[in-house]
Amino acid sequence: NAGVTQTPKFQVLKTGQSMTLQCAQDMNHNSMYWYRQDPGMGLRLIYYSASEGTTDKGEVPNGYNVSRLNKREFSLRLESAAPSQTSVYFCASSGPTEGRLRHTEAFFGQGTRLTVV
């Protein structure tokens, strides 16, 4: 059982380049999330998707776009990378928000360490 898989694990970009971070989960979860982690700031939500076909902005969405390709996959795109986007990016997923299983915990991928120079 792979859980949440992110690719790539490491990436170095030049300012202005674009890239897409990939995330896939095999737990049949409805909700998926993209967070960024910066020292002293905890994890901040970039975007989330409550279900297939829907996406919503989180706390720090500027400079990013997302696509919920299907129930399994949720990608994060940087159209024109900036040094301020140097961070560690985590994808996560969680189960239903209603019903008996609504309080299951979120599961995280191993992270993508992105450096923009």
Partner 1 sequence: AQSVAQPEDQVNVAEGNPLTVKCTYSVSGNPYLFWYVQYPNRGLQFLLKYITGDNLVKGSYGFEAEFNKSQTSFHLKKPSALVSDSALYFCAVRALYNQGGKLIFGQGTELSVKP
Which parts of this chain interact with partner 1 (CB under 8 A)? 4, 31, 33, 35, 40-45, 48-51, 56, 58, 90, 92, 94-95, 97, 102-103, 105-111
Alpha-carbon span 33 to 49, nearest angstrom: 6
Are residues 62 and 54 in contact, defined by beta-carbon separation less than 8 angstroms? no
Nearer to partner 1, 85 or 94 (CB): 94
Q: How far is the CB of 3 from partner 1 (least distance, A)?
A: 9
Nearer to partner 1, 40 or 62 (CB): 40
Nearer to partner 1, 38 or 79 (CB): 38
Nearer to partner 1, 44 or 72 (CB): 44
Q: How far is the CB of 111 from partner 1 (least distance, A)?
A: 5
Beta bridge partners of 23: 6
